[in-house]
Amino acid sequence: MAQDTSLVESETVVEPAVEHRTRDPRRPKRFLFLRNGKALTGIGILLFFGVLAVVGPWIAPYDPNQVSVDLLQPPSWTHWLGTDHTGRDILSQIVVGTRGVLVVGLIAGVSATVLGVVVGVTAGFVGGAGDETLSALSNVFLVIPQLPLIIIIAGQLPTAGGVTVALVIGATGWAWGARVMRAQTLSLRKRDFVEAARANGERTWRLVLAEVLPNLTAIIAAGFVGTVTFAVMSQVTLAFIGITPVSDWNWGTILFWAQNNLALQRGAWWWFVPAGLCIALLGMALTLVNFGIDEFVNPRLRSTGMNARVLRRRRIRPRIGFTPVLRTPPGAGPRAAAAGPTRKERS
């Protein structure tokens, strides 16, 4: 295990800390996060949509608002994803709508994360009555159902464009992040290095910026990704129920038009299936990135070395409480055989 030599040479030679039985004895690898297959898949999908959001309006085959005589056509070579009831090209609507979805997701994600970090870290750091007040505030915002709140706020705004909706989502969706951030700050505050910096007379704001925030990076990132997911879902939902202007193209708007023009009853699956799949794919990509962060933060969730194929080949079933035993029966050569009797029983 990697150990600081200077510590070993000092007075207490044998590290008195408890032995970590479960830890991977190898050195921690840098950029472990990027070595994670789930996270990489997620980032790949995100990049795809990101590029689409930037170049979408240029590569879309048609103007998404352009009506034509091809009313409600199923997918064909001229319209890859068919057309809607006024002959507009659905693929173009999806491609052009990507930008709206991502922009709102990003703005809402950034604003909610900033709010969450400020409230959470402050609460965790000041303690006392300030902490009580801020935690109560974030708990209140957690309990109040956000989507209905967003709906009534957006519903009462005279104009609820993309940015407005993003800001409303940001203003209501910060509480979860604040809660997590507060818990983490509280535990960080008690760690030795922060105490040491404090004893050295570091100023509070410097302490927060230099010692606390860098250690919260993973949590902040997870909170950000989670908020973006929530923002995308909320915005699409708002567009679907027709609260945001129906002329702003995003994937929810497409579903709004589909639902209101009886696409379901007419069996026009090409109208609502692709847009929904895009939402699901984007949501899944964000979830995968969050899994990657989770496994990075919580090593117990990591499945290092649990390559399913290797396990099958060596016939190992990793279990807690019953360590697998490799058996090499006489004459079987180096190839490992079954874990013997351990596999017989299963309750």
Q: Kindly identify the residues of this chain, within the stretch 85-124, that bind another protein according to CB under 8 A.
A: none
User: Which stretch, 116-124, 202-210, 215-223, 325-333, contacts another protein (CB under 8 A)?
Assistant: 325-333
Candidate residues 28, 69, 308, 335; the one interacting with another protein per rule CB under 8 A = 308
Q: At what angle do helices 90-126 and 162-172 cross, to 10 degrees?
A: 30
Gap between the Cα atoms of 148 and 188, Å rounded: 35
Q: Considering the rule CB under 8 A, would residue 132 count as an interface residue with another protein?
A: no
User: Which stretch, 91-99, 101-109, 137-145, 187-195, contacts another protein (CB under 8 A)?
Assistant: 137-145
Q: Which letter, b or e, does each residue of 179-204 get, where b requires 16 or more Cβ atoms within 10 Å of its Cβ? A: bbbbebbeebbeeeebeebeeeeeee
Site residue total, another protein (CB under 8 A): 104
Select 192 or 345, whichever has its Cβ closest to another protein: 345
Candidate residues 215, 269, 297, 338; the one interacting with another protein per rule CB under 8 A = 269
Q: How far is the CB of 200 from another protein (least distance, A)?
A: 28
Q: Considering the rule CB under 8 A, would residue 152 count as an interface residue with another protein?
A: yes
Select 57 or 283, whichever has its Cβ closest to another protein: 283
Candidate residues 169, 288, 289, 293; the one interacting with another protein per rule CB under 8 A = 288
Gap between the Cα atoms of 247 and 90, Å rounded: 14
Q: Considering the rule CB under 8 A, would residue 161 count as an interface residue with another protein?
A: no
Q: How deeply is 243 buried, as exposed, middle or buried, from its count of CB atoms within 10 A (0-12, 13-18, 19+)?
A: buried
User: Which stretch, 65-73, 99-107, 196-204, 308-316, contacts another protein (CB under 8 A)?
Assistant: 308-316
Q: How far is the CB of 253 from another protein (least distance, A)?
A: 13
Q: Which two tokens stand for residue 302?
A: 């990591």
Q: Is 337 helix (H, G, I), strand (E, B) or coil?
A: strand
Q: Is 89 helix (H, G, I), strand (E, B) or coil?
A: strand
x/- track of binding to another protein for residues 1-40 (CB under 8 A): xxxxx--xxxxxxxxxxxxxxx-xxxx-------------
Select 213 or 241, whichever has its Cβ closest to another protein: 241
Gap between the Cα atoms of 162 and 252, Å rounded: 12
> What are the phi and psi torsion angles at 83 (to 5°)?
-130, 165
Closest to 284 in 3D by CA, of 49, 34, 109: 49
x/- track of binding to another protein for residues 165-184 (CB under 8 A): -----------x--------
Number of other CB atoms surrounding residue 271 within 10 Å: 26
Closest to 250 in 3D by CA, of 108, 106, 94: 94
Select 194 or 279, whichever has its Cβ closest to another protein: 279
Q: How deeply is 320 buried, as exposed, middle or buried, from its count of CB atoms within 10 A (0-12, 13-18, 19+)?
A: exposed
User: Which stretch, 115-123, 156-164, 185-193, 204-212, contacts another protein (CB under 8 A)?
Assistant: 156-164
Gap between the Cα atoms of 81 and 274, Å rounded: 8
Select 191 or 317, whichever has its Cβ closest to another protein: 317
Residue where the block lists tokens 């100023």? 203
Write out the binding residues for another protein, residues 206-265 only, by CB under 8 A. Answer: 229-230, 233, 236-237, 240-243, 255, 258-259, 264-265
User: Which stretch, 28-36, 187-195, 199-207, 323-331, contacts another protein (CB under 8 A)?
Assistant: 323-331
User: Which stretch, 75-83, 191-199, 212-220, 302-310, contacts another protein (CB under 8 A)?
Assistant: 302-310
Alpha-carbon torsion angle 233, 234, 236, 240, nearest 10 = 130
